[in-house]
């Protein structure tokens, strides 16, 4: 399974939004400029985050995006689901029905050993992402790179758009 680059962009954008001044909104163009990303594509990711209730979006001269809840209430899984959707990564197409000894009356999604193993693996992956919040990530980043919050705020403050 491979996640789209939009997940990485969304996670970093949320973290950057956590470091700007409280109450300040940030445009998609400014957030995109921080990493040299295409504004239109990042804006689609940000809109997905807003639709999921992770960000709020305001229009107008002082408009842009803000976090809509605290970082301790946003999990990595929340962001992944907002960008990638909630659909399972592995989809059992029940090919055993067509194989020798297969039966059209059996739900192989429930009885197939491969489908069961893939479901367990996906549940473990989802559980791990759901157990980590953006507050956890922020704390780790700030512990390893203590200048990051101030550098981020300064970069946005000095940005000319």
Q: What are phi and psi for residue 66, nearest 5 degrees?
A: -135, 155
- pLDDT at residue 117 above 90? yes
pLDDT of residue 21: 80
Is residue 65 within 8 A of residue 28, CB to CB? The reply is: yes
pLDDT digits (tens, 9 = 90+) for 4-53: 999 999 999 999 999 998 778 999 999 999 999 999 999 999 999 999 99
What pLDDT is attached to residue 91? 87
Higher pLDDT, residue 109 or 161: 109
Mean pLDDT across the stretch 51-68?
93
Helix (H, G, I), strand (E, B) or coil at 58: strand
pLDDT above 80 (res 161) = no
Q: What does the mean pLDDT of the chain come to? A: 93
Among the listed ranges 121-125, 126-130, 156-160, which one has the minimum average pLDDT value?
156-160
Q: Tokens representing 22?
A: 């409280």
Spatial contact of 119 and 90, defined as CB atoms under 8 Å apart: yes
pLDDT for res 1: 65
- Give the span between the Cα atoms of 53 and 78, in whole angstroms: 9
Asked if the model's pLDDT at residue 88 lies above 80, the reply is: yes
């Amino acid at each position: 399974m491979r996640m789209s680059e939009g997940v990485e962009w969304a996670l970093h954008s949320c973290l950057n939004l956590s470091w700007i001044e409280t109450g300040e909104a940030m445009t998609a163009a400014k957030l995109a400029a921080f990493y040299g990303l295409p504004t239109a594509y990042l804006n689609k990711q940000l809109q997905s985050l807003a639709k999921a209730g992770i960000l709020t979006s305001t229009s107008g001269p002082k408009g842009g995006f803000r976090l809509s809840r605290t970082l301790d209430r946003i999990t990595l899984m929340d962001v992944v689901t907002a960008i990638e959707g909630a659909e399972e990564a592995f989809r059992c197409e029940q090919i055993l029905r067509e194989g020798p000894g297969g039966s059209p009356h059996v739900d192989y999604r429930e009885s197939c050993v491969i489908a069961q193993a893939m479901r367990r693996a996906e549940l473990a992956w989802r559980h791990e992402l759901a157990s980590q919040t953006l507050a956890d990530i922020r704390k780790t980043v700030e512990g390893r790179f203590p200048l990051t919050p101030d550098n981020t705020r300064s970069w946005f403050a000095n940005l000319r758009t």
